[in-house]
Amino acid sequence: MLLSGGLDSYTAAAIAREEGFDLFALTVRYGQRHFYEIEAARAVAHALRVERHVELDVDLRAFGGSSLTSDAPVPKDRAIDPAEIPSTYVPARNTVFLSLALAWAETLGARDIVIGVNALDYSGYPDCRPEYIAAFERMASLATRAGIEGVRFTIQTPLLTLSKAEIIRRGIALQLDYGLTHSCYDPDPAGRPCGRCDSCLLRAAGFAQAGVADPARAR
Amino acid sequence: MLLSGGLDSYTAAAIAREEGFDLFALTVRYGQRHFYEIEAARAVAHALRVERHVELDVDLRAFGGSSLTSDAPVPKDRAIDPAEIPSTYVPARNTVFLSLALAWAETLGARDIVIGVNALDYSGYPDCRPEYIAAFERMASLATRAGIEGVRFTIQTPLLTLSKAEIIRRGIALQLDYGLTHSCYDPDPAGRPCGRCDSCLLRAAGFAQAGVADPARAR
């Protein structure tokens, strides 16, 4: 499972655990602008009682191309339209992440990779769409020794078609503590969310629609 | 272009340059057992006069699963049979490398990724086969903003169906200095090739069949 420290990957992993999977968590330190996401990933991994949590450094700032991996400003207060891909898109990020997860899955003998992508309440990132996930899955089996030996890798995307409110309701039913998570792209130096980036706006709308208070805001 | 420091990636890049491409070289330090490969990559990048050479650290030792990323012994003196994948296979390595190249290509505005894979005189690695490359290519366009905007990424594999001897003849015609390259999986502490791993055996057979002395052996 890919674990970012946000609420989606936490919920996706918890759903997988509920379905009986043992969890191995991979967090990629790809050059995020802040460290709060990584701290949240550690707290979430602990809460999920994962078998193992690997943090891997892959510095995508070497390539740039995104406001999340450079000093370019993060867009604020925008009307989110999935048809318009914002500057927070990190080129090929999910492909890099899933490839690393595939490498680990093959060595573990795992055949399921869990990722919390969502193609409903999202920022229009191309690598969150179902047709992309299907193409990655097909490639993954051809890429590996396990695939040649007959293993079919499955990319588990339990949140793919849920709204943010549905994700949150699902997590609350699983007794998740969303106070552990961090969603903001651009927190202040103390780690407090800006409340105005896409990620904050989607999160706030999700909690509002779910009719639940966001426990992270109480801290 | 992916650049390892071996003779295949050097030749593939030189063919691309001959075809008129400007070259941007990516070398991944993935936890190789030795540093000679990286030094060779730098020498080759210099000889090719690339526009830019990025060395990126992605420590695949975190996952293990290969004799190239662990202390397990490298197989020696074996009869190479592409139907049997040896322990030097690094799980999903080319997928990780191509994903990183895709990330950089997208930020550069490039649409061609060059990789020196070969499916003839090779060790049977699944991620060197044409059907794998085709599946990656299809996934790559779905993965990216560029893909959504109509760019089709092409994975250039100029060596895919050449024999090792043909690769070497092609490189010599392009006046490449193979003395710059390093192929051995398990060199001695001074960097001298073992002469007995798959990579050394394939290289020696290639030079022999091409009827050319290996300039690296003269050093």
Helix ranges restricted to H, chain A: 7-18, 36-47, 93-108, 130-143, 145-148, 164-173, 198-210
Contact by Cβ (8 Å): B165, B210: yes
Instruction: Quick: pLDDT tens for A90-104.
Output: 999 999 999 999 999
pTM for this model (two decimals): 0.96
Residue contact B92–A99, C-beta within 8 A: yes
Instruction: Single out the residue of B215, B193, B140, B165 nearest to residue B8, CA to CA.
Output: B165
Q: 């109480």: which residue's tokens?
A: A218
Structure tokens at B192: 């001298």
Q: Name the superfamily (CATH) of residues B7-212.
A: HUPs (3.40.50.620)
Compute the nearest-CA separation of B211 from chain A (Å). 34
A-B contacts (CB, under 8 Å) = 145
Read off the pLDDT band of B219 (50, 70, 90). low
Q: Which of B92, B107, B129 sits opposite A102 (nearest CB)?
A: B92
* CATH number belonging to domain A7-218: 3.40.50.620
Rounded to 5°, the CA angle A177-A181-A186 comes to 155
The arithmetic mean of pLDDT across residues A145-171, rounded, is: 94
Task: Give the percent of chain A with pLDDT over 90.
Answer: 83
Instruction: Quick: pLDDT tens for B46-99.
Output: 999 999 999 999 999 999 889 999 888 999 999 988 888 999 999 999 999 999
Give me the pLDDT at residue B165, please: 97
Provide the chain B residues 126-165 that lie in CB contact (below 8 A) with chain A.
126-127, 129, 131-132, 135-136, 138-140, 142-145, 147-148
Q: How far is CA B97 from CA A194, B27, B56, in A?
A: 35, 9, 10
Q: Distance between CA A54 and CA A24 in Å, rounded? A: 8
What is the maximum alpha-carbon separation in chain B? 51
Q: Which residues of A73-83 are buried (b: 16+ CB within 10 A; e: fewer)?
A: ebbeeeeeeee
Q: Which of A103, A129, A148 sits opposite B92 (nearest CB)?
A: A103
> Beta A52-57 vs A112-114: how paired, if at all?
unpaired
Residue contact A62–B85, C-beta within 8 A: no
Instruction: Single out the residue of B131, B99, B62 nearest to residue A98, CA to CA.
Output: B99
Contact by Cβ (8 Å): A120, A163: yes
Q: Which of A126, A139, A144 sits opposite B144 (nearest CB)?
A: A126
Instruction: Quick: pLDDT tens for B140-161.
Output: 999 999 888 888 999 999 999 9
Q: Distance between CA A147 and CA A153 in Å, rounded? A: 8
Give which of B52, B138, B142, B155 to mutate to test A binding, by max A Cβ within 10 Å.
B142
In the DSSP assignment, the letter for residue B75 is: P
Backbone angles phi, psi at B157, to 5 degrees: -125, 70
Q: CA-nearest residue of chain B to A98?
A: B96
Give which of B30, B89, B144, B149 to mutate to test A binding, by max A Cβ within 10 Å.
B144
Q: How far apart are the first and last CA of chain A?
A: 27
In the DSSP assignment, the letter for residue B104 is: H
Instruction: Quick: pLDDT tens for A27-57.
Output: 999 988 788 999 999 999 999 999 999 999 9
Residue A6 predicted with pLDDT over 70: yes
Q: If you average pLDDT over every residue of chain B, what do you get?
A: 94
Residue B154, number of CB atoms within 10 A of its CB: 15
Task: Give the percent of chain B with pLDDT over 90.
Answer: 83
Residues of B in Cβ contact (< 8 Å) with A51: none
Give me the pLDDT at residue B35, please: 87
Give which of B56, B70, B87, B100 to mutate to test A binding, by max A Cβ within 10 Å.
B100
Give me the pLDDT at residue B121, please: 84
- Residues with Cβ < 8 Å from A191, sequence gap 6 or more? A34, A36, A182
Residues of B in Cβ contact (< 8 Å) with A144: 91-92, 126-127
Rg (CA), chain A: 17
Structure tokens at B29: 């330090």
Instruction: Single out the residue of A8, A34, A16 nearest to residue A155, CA to CA.
Output: A16
Residues of A in Cβ contact (< 8 Å) with B104: 62-63, 91
Backbone angles phi, psi at A82, to 5 degrees: -60, -15
Residue A92, number of CB atoms within 10 A of its CB: 31
Partners of B219 in beta bridges: none
Q: Does B57 touch chain A (CB under 8 A)?
A: yes
How many helices and strands (H and E) does chain B possess? 7, 4
**Where are any strands of DSSP class E within A99-160?**
112-114, 154-156
The arithmetic mean of pLDDT across residues B18-47, rounded, is: 95
Give me the pLDDT at residue B218, please: 57
- Residues with Cβ < 8 Å from B21, sequence gap 6 or more? B112, B114
Structure tokens at A112: 């399921």
Instruction: Quick: pLDDT tens for A180-192.
Output: 999 999 999 999 9
Q: Distance between CA B89 and CA B70 in Å, rounded? A: 12
Q: Does A64 touch chain B (CB under 8 A)?
A: yes
Q: Distance between CA A93 and CA A77 in Å, rounded? A: 24
The arithmetic mean of pLDDT across residues A165-176, rounded, is: 98
- Residues with Cβ < 8 Å from A173, sequence gap 6 or more? none
Give me the pLDDT at residue A33, please: 78
Compute the nearest-CA separation of B215 from chain A (Å). 33
Task: Give the percent of chain B with pLDDT over 70.
Answer: 99
Q: How far apart are the first and last CA of chain B?
A: 27
What are the extents of the domains in chain A? 7-218
Contact by Cβ (8 Å): A8, A163: no
Residue A218 predicted with pLDDT over 90: no
